[in-house]
Structure 1
Amino acid sequence: MLRNLILILVSFCFIHIAQAWGFWAHQRINRLAIFSLPPAMFTFYKANIEYITEHAVDPDKRRYVVVGEAPKHFIDLDHFCAYPCDSFPRKWQEAKSIYSEDTLNAYGIVPWVIEWTMNKLTGAFVDKDKALILKYSADLGHYIADSHVPLHTTENYNGQLTDQQGIHGFWESRLPELFHEEYSFWVGGASYIKNRNEFIWTNILHAHNQLEGVLSLEKQLDKTYPNDQKYAFEARGESLIKTYSRGYSLAYHILLDGMVENQMQLSVKHIADLWFTCWVGAGLPNLSDLDFNNIREPAGQENEGKVLKIKSRPHAETGFDVLLDKP
């Protein structure tokens, strides 16, 4: 009996740190974004859809082995300001001059990482470098999706400050796992974004503004829902894990009134928008005559592939982690 209990507890802990189980939605979002691209881009991206899909999770794989990767996935806005954060600098150089680069890295840099990755993707389009176009497209999609998760915008990223430990995975993993088949992902065609800095910050602040609802609605539900029905044990592969019950999840899903679906829709649309913006910024290069080059890493990734002891947040940080299959 004790042995079985230990196995259950180990499985429960593992499910929250094993990133290989949290990749479905990032891959789904990147894949769907391709279908919003104009014909001049769609043919190339559709031909490489499996790469864009598979490599949507590369940034998460790098978080524990590449120095400087971890803070690229979030920004703790409430450490610096209260919504709508009008006084917080949007430009990197201004922010760095006020808070220092070390401070900014400590509390996350995802809005600027999106811009930097756009610069890299635009350069890859200019050079007509197929390998880097694919790499940076996949990476950019990941960071954009992460920036649409309300719990990626706060120091209270896993409810640890409000006695709601586990809400991060609940919102971005458990709910999409159970209800994604109800979601609609028709988001229309890609749009050119004239002011990308403003666009990125508008979307991050939109996500941050929903944080209060994410937390307060779950807190409200917790007070009224039978405590002995809040959690359940479910089989995952050969493991038995503790998770939020289907009934509790449904109740939270109803209270959120489409919030998770909407944030996933916005992720799909905005990825397509910014891919398109990079292509336009490069001069609308013809993508039909690109030769394939072996994927190579850009400068600054010299630590990739090495096992390094890098501190990262212990919860599932990946935007929209969905636990579907055995790794």
Structure 2
Amino acid sequence: MKRNLIAFFVGSVIITLCSSWGFFAHYRINRLAVFTLPKGMAAFYKSNIEFITEHAVSADKRRYVDSTEAPRHYFDADHYGKHPFSVMPQRWVDAAAKYSSDTLNKYGTVPWSINSNYYWLVNAFKRHDTSAILTISANLGHYIADAHVPLHLTQNYDGQLTGQTGIHALWESRLPELFSNGYNYYAGRARYIKSPLAEAFRICRSSYNSVDSVLRIEKQLSKSFTDAQKYTTEKRGSQQVKTYSIAYCKAYHKLLKGMVERRMRESVLSIGSFWFSAWVDAGQPDLNKLIEKPLSIAEKKKLQTEESMYRVGKVYAVANQP
């Protein structure tokens, strides 16, 4: 999630976003990233795929017990001027010297969070620490996915500065829930990343470049819908909540021209690539020795089907939670 909690009022009804990308999307992204891994890693990660999936949202849940967690999920690049990536040093010590660590923490640290978790994962691989490998892999996946969301790169993270309050939930939660079953997530095999920090900043820069489109397109679209057309009510649990109508979501999704799909697909490949690179930098330890509970025949068959469908651009199964 972008800040501690994003909620907005439409009439007397609160629309709340529970998680960055929505828990649903984080589960899917982390899970599919397992299928990008090479043979030396695949068996270990597949045997622990349910943990990787379930804990894809642990970083969001920590926000409620750790006051320092929220900034790790975003980077308000526009706070640093019109060309933030030209003036922001990538090394933390240099950035802190220029802007102060308090400023960096106030306006978000996601690229440095990715870098720190990467090296923690390298060390976990070197120690053959199964628990740490899995926990850090899940957390790293979450931060990488967050960095792929354009609205995590701006102070106007929920459209609150431009009269578009609620766009955060619309873009990264509502649209994936409605349309992501039809997305093609296949992006090839994980690749080696030479500089994790530079890659983290590249991802952030790419997301930042889409901020204007995300906001401008929705602003223009909103002019052609009345409130009655733009919003609807749906039952969530035992409550009726007000949310964006399917018609409005379809129109916005079409105007974005595949942006959400691309960012989710790129998240999958990036996560797998960071995991793979950490394993390589750790000396490619034998992960098969760390498998505590081999998959059953039925589990292997299910994952084979799931992976086969992923490789042809289809989704095997859908669930809003593991």
Pair in the same fold by TM > 0.5: yes
Q: Distance in 2 between matches of 1:172 and 1:114?
A: 20
Are the equivalent residues in 2 in contact too, given 1:92–1:112 (CA < 8 A)?
yes
For 1:98, the equivalent position in structure 2 comes to 98
Are the equivalent residues in 1 in contact too, given 2:232–2:244 (CA < 8 A)?
yes
For 1:68, the equivalent position in structure 2 comes to 68
Are the equivalent residues in 2 in contact too, given 1:73–1:143 (CA < 8 A)?
yes
For 1:143, the equivalent position in structure 2 comes to 143
For 2:4, the equivalent position in structure 1 comes to none
Identity across aligned pairs (percent)?
Answer: 51
- Give CA-to-partner distance per residue, 1:293-325, whole Å, 9 cap, x none: xxxxxxxxxxxxxxxxxxxxxxxxxxxxxxx86
With over 3 angstroms needed to count, the CA separation of the structure-2 counterparts of 1:134 and 1:112, relative to structure 1, is same
- Give CA-to-partner distance per residue, 1:25-69, whole Å, 9 cap, x none: 111100000000001000000000000000111100101211311
For 1:308, the equivalent position in structure 2 comes to none
Flag structure 2 segments of 5+ consecutive residues without an equivalent.
Answer: 1-9, 293-318
For 1:230, the equivalent position in structure 2 comes to 230
RMSD: 2.1
Q: Distance in 2 between matches of 1:20 and 1:261?
A: 15
With over 3 angstroms needed to count, the CA separation of the structure-2 counterparts of 1:325 and 1:189, relative to structure 1, is closer
Are the equivalent residues in 2 in contact too, given 1:122–1:278 (CA < 8 A)?
yes
Stretch of structure 1 that moved more, 198-207 or 116-125: 198-207
Q: Distance in 1 between matches of 2:182 and 2:51?
A: 26
Pairing of 1:154-173 with structure 2 (within 5 A): 154-173=154-173
SS at match of 1:189: coil
Are the equivalent residues in 1 in contact too, given 2:21–2:146 (CA < 8 A)?
no
Q: Distance in 1 between matches of 2:201 and 2:81?
A: 14
For 2:35, the equivalent position in structure 1 comes to 35
Are the equivalent residues in 2 in contact too, given 1:231–1:242 (CA < 8 A)?
yes
Are the equivalent residues in 2 in contact too, given 1:78–1:155 (CA < 8 A)?
yes
SS at match of 1:235: strand
For 2:270, the equivalent position in structure 1 comes to 270
For 2:311, the equivalent position in structure 1 comes to none
Matched AA of 1:149: V
Distance apart, 1:226 and its partner CA: 3.5
Q: TM-score w.r.t. structure 1 length?
A: 0.84
For 2:304, the equivalent position in structure 1 comes to none
Q: Distance in 2 between matches of 1:21 and 1:283?
A: 33
Are the equivalent residues in 2 in contact too, given 1:230–1:244 (CA < 8 A)?
yes
Pairing of 1:95-134 with structure 2 (within 5 A): 95-134=95-134
Q: Distance in 1 between matches of 2:19 and 2:154?
A: 21
SS at match of 1:284: coil
Matched AA of 1:246: I
With over 3 angstroms needed to count, the CA separation of the structure-2 counterparts of 1:263 and 1:123, relative to structure 1, is same
Confirm whether residue 77 of structure 1 aligns to residue 69 of structure 2.
no
Pairing of 1:181-200 with structure 2 (within 5 A): 181-200=181-200
With over 3 angstroms needed to count, the CA separation of the structure-2 counterparts of 1:89 and 1:326, relative to structure 1, is closer
Matched AA of 1:124: A
Q: Distance in 2 between matches of 1:290 and 1:74?
A: 33
Are the equivalent residues in 2 in contact too, given 1:83–1:205 (CA < 8 A)?
no
With over 3 angstroms needed to count, the CA separation of the structure-2 counterparts of 1:17 and 1:221, relative to structure 1, is closer
Distance apart, 1:89 and its partner CA: 1.0
For 1:253, the equivalent position in structure 2 comes to 253
Distance apart, 1:326 and its partner CA: 9.7
Q: Distance in 2 between matches of 1:31 and 1:53?
A: 5
Are the equivalent residues in 2 in contact too, given 1:231–1:243 (CA < 8 A)?
yes
Q: TM-score w.r.t. structure 2 length?
A: 0.85
Confirm whether residue 49 of structure 1 aligns to residue 49 of structure 2.
yes
Matched AA of 1:282: A
- Give CA-to-partner distance per residue, 1:215-258, whole Å, 9 cap, x none: 00001101122343011111122211101111011000000000
Matched AA of 2:210: Q
SS at match of 1:191: coil
- Give CA-to-partner distance per residue, 1:248-293, whole Å, 9 cap, x none: 110000000000000000000000000000000000000011265x
Are the equivalent residues in 1 in contact too, given 2:221–2:252 (CA < 8 A)?
yes
- Length, aligned pairs only: 288
Are the equivalent residues in 2 in contact too, given 1:237–1:326 (CA < 8 A)?
no
SS at match of 1:63: helix
Runs of 4+, deviation exceeding 6 Å: none
Q: Distance in 2 between matches of 1:19 and 1:151?
A: 13
Matched AA of 1:104: L
